[in-house]
Structure 1
Amino acid sequence: MKRLIVPIAPFLLMLGQAFGQGTPPGKEQKMEKTEYVTFTLSGKVTRQAVTFKNRYGITIAADLYIPKNSDNGSLPALALSGPFGAVKEQSSGLYAQHMAERGFAALAFDPSYTGESGGQPRHVASPDINTEDFSAAVDFLGLQPLVDRNRIGIIGICGWAGMALNAAAVDKRIKAVATTSMYDMSRLMAKGYFDKLTTEQRTNMLEQMSQQRWIDAEKGTPAPSTNNLPQKLQGNEPQFVVDYFNYYKTPRGFHPRSINSNGSWTATSALSFMNMPLLTYINEIAPRPILLIAGEKAHFRYFSEDAYKAADGPKELLIIPGASHVDLYDKLDIIPFDKLTSFFNEHLKSGKPAQKEKVAAYGSAN
């Protein structure tokens, strides 16, 4: 059987992160002076490598950030992950460290099948299992002596923002949820950019991935996607591809375990996302509060805006003036940490019910 080439490479390039970015396994890129984390570690917090298992028995690797001199049982806690294809040493770790500096126990984790977490085969994503990863992180946090288990929230970044909202809908222990630069990965993969994927295009994509399964079954291993970030920019790429490249492929954000920096999703990873909409029950997050943060110039800003419209109960939409999608990965002068802190301080009060709906906020970062 001949290997089928999916005839949608330009489309997937437009989608950026839909299937994968980077170099196929076995051809890893090397970069000098890659630090263990892509940000400067803080002296105000402690950082501990931890592991725990999710409901499917997969071992999840995480870094737990704790403010120094904390009292037992007193801390509100946050579980964080994202972006899609990143690792805990990138954006989620940066967010966790800064939230720990502000008084939270913050757990940045690698989703199943990625980074230092378990699961075989590698570089696979699942709307169900990756939603469960957030709940498993809540399990872990709630067992820590320093944490008040009635004061746990979650933060999802980029593609893991949709999983965070999905987790909050089903897991009622999550008292508040915030997202930044949200992608709804199931909508993106199933419907394309601005929902412009035609039925014929969708059918062709599913046919190609279905046929790819025969090839994978015969070889006994899933093939990597070939629709990845370029190793060098040619000068004619869309701006959001340039933005991704400038984060994942340069010392700014490169990490050897990051799929987006140095690997590839499997060629069939999109199958389950195309069949299982993530935000079907977003209205069931209510009455718990939602904070959605997006850059004014983000190419997928409409995901956050549409999620805001679909959600019931307390909700807030914050658009950061002049910011792009990737700016919210690591730009400390742009990420609204003060807003995240006030949001979770307000809503992670033990026994405190969520308040009435807030009007969408368009304004400055903090």
Structure 2
Amino acid sequence: MDPCQWDKFFPKSDKVDHKKVTFTNHFGIPLAADQYTTKNYEGKLPASAVAGNFGAVKEQSSGLYAQTLAEKSYLTIAFDPSFTGESGGDVRDVFSLDINTEDYQAAVDYLSNIGNVDPEKIGIIGICGWGGISLNTAAIDPRIKATSAVTYDMPRVGAWGYFDQGTAEERYASKKQIAEQRTKEYGQQDLAKAGGYYDYPAPDGQPDFVKQYSAYYKTKRGYHKRSVNSNEGWILQSQPAWMNAQILVHPEDIKNAVLIVHGEKAHSRYMGEDTFKKLRGENKELVIVPNDTHTDLYDQMDKIPFDKIDSFFKQNL
């Protein structure tokens, strides 16, 4: 594809300059990113790295967030996580809390070494599952001066299901099934996928949040050919990784500022509120956006609190 071709699901802004960039994490995986820079600036800029949604690519929500923030006098990047999108990794459509946390740190490495970025003014943004991963990164990297997160606790969902309705017995049964699948797939190139979201419209009887995912990932509103969630989903073998992990083992280590954003009607709201309770310090804030669902915060410009996110970063970067 022509690198100059605009392949995002959102319109290109005439207020920023855009280019594609790459950088490498310390596992040796090259990461692809879109870089957005405000026009007509002077001096060095504050910067932010954006990732999410979990199972999405930089042409979707993370790019929208990055471009919109760049319009407000920042340099931003939206990157594809390892093993997804245009980023590297020989195996495709898998995830790792360790490697994906490092992806953020590699983004901070990159931003810290750009001549027009102030390395003391770098923040990160995480959307959906990347909200939890962004906080996990902030807990181990003090270079991150501010973190804004639409938080989803993927290990909690992996271990206990939505709304903590799963059981240890169900979790063990899933691990056993996938372990047997690994034995069958040994040496194979094509590995079974967990399945993406339902084609739109999702069947009657599905929870509202499942229908909302379908309405985003499976329609022209948010579909992208490289998006894991828009297509066949994650590799099935990767699923147990969330069942035996934990984000924010040491939340007290996040000394710098945090803004957690959630929709009032988001099915994931409980995850953000419970995560917020773990944080310490007066520089932590929780914002609940009236009437918003989880997916409203993916792309609805009149519902995403960009002015609040901007003021948060301007105060803390």
**CA distance in 1 between partners of 2:163 and 2:57 (Å):** 27
CA root-mean-square deviation? 1.3
> Equivalent residues in 2 for 1:286-325 (5 A)?
286=255, 288-313=256-281, 314-325=283-294
Report if the CA contact (8 A) 2:62-2:127 is conserved: yes
Q: Is the 8 A contact 1:176 1:290 kept in 2?
A: yes
Give the number of the structure with larger relative contact order, counting CA–CA contacts within 8 Å between residues 6 or more apart: 1
- The alpha-carbon deviation at position 144 of structure 1 amounts to 0.7
CA contact (8 A) 2:267 2:293 kept: yes
Question: In structure 2, how many angstroms separate the alpha carbons of the residues matched to 1:211 and 1:281?
Answer: 34
Corresponding residue number in structure 1 for 2:138? 168
Once the 2 structures are TM-superposed, how far is the Cα of residue 268 of structure 1 from its aligned partner? 1.5
Alpha-carbon offset, residue 315 of structure 1: 0.7
Which of 59, 65, 68 is equivalent to 1:98?
68
C-alpha displacement of 1:35: 6.5
Hey, what's the Cα distance between the residues in 1 that align with 2:53 and 2:18?
20
Tell me whether 1:116 sits opposite 2:86 in the alignment. yes
- Secondary structure (helix, strand or coil) at the match of 1:260 reads coil
SS at match of 2:229: helix
Question: Map of 1:5-44 to 2, 5 A cutoff?
Answer: 36-44=7-15
Partner of 1:236: 205
Alpha-carbon distance in structure 2 between the residues aligned to 1:151 and 1:218: 46
Is 1:147 paired with 2:117? yes
Distance 1:162 1:270 in 2: 17
Identity value in percent: 49
- SS, match of residue 115 in structure 2: coil
Per-residue deviation, residues 2-61 of structure 1 (Å, max 9, x unmatched):
xxxxxxxxxxxxxxxxxxxxxxxxxxxxxxxx9710001100001110000001000000
Does structure 2 retain, via aligned residues, the 8 Å contact 1:121–1:222? no
| 1:67 aligned to which of 38, 42, 46 | 38
Aligned pair 1:216/2:185, yes or no?
Answer: yes
Structure 1 segments of 4+ aligned residues over 3 angstroms from their partners: none
Q: How high is the TM-score relative to the length of structure 2?
A: 0.95
Which of the numbers 133, 136, 146 marks the counterpart of 2:106? 136
TM-score of the two chains, using structure 1 as the length reference: 0.83
- Is 2:279 the partner of 1:333? no
Q: Distance between the aligned counterparts of 1:110 and 1:57, measured in 2?
A: 15
**Aligned AA for 2:70?**
A
**Corresponding residue pairs, total:** 311
Which is worse superposed, 320-329 or 236-245? Answer: 236-245
Structure 1 residue 246: deviation in Å? 0.9
Q: Deviations over 1:193-212 (max 9, x none)?
A: 12222111111011111111
Q: Which amino acid aligns with 1:69?
A: N
Instruction: Return the letter of the residue paired with 1:141.
Output: L
**What amino acid is aligned across from residue 114 of structure 1 in structure 2?**
T
Match of 2:28 among 54, 57, 80: 57
Contact 1:67–1:103 (CA<8 Å) still a contact in 2? yes
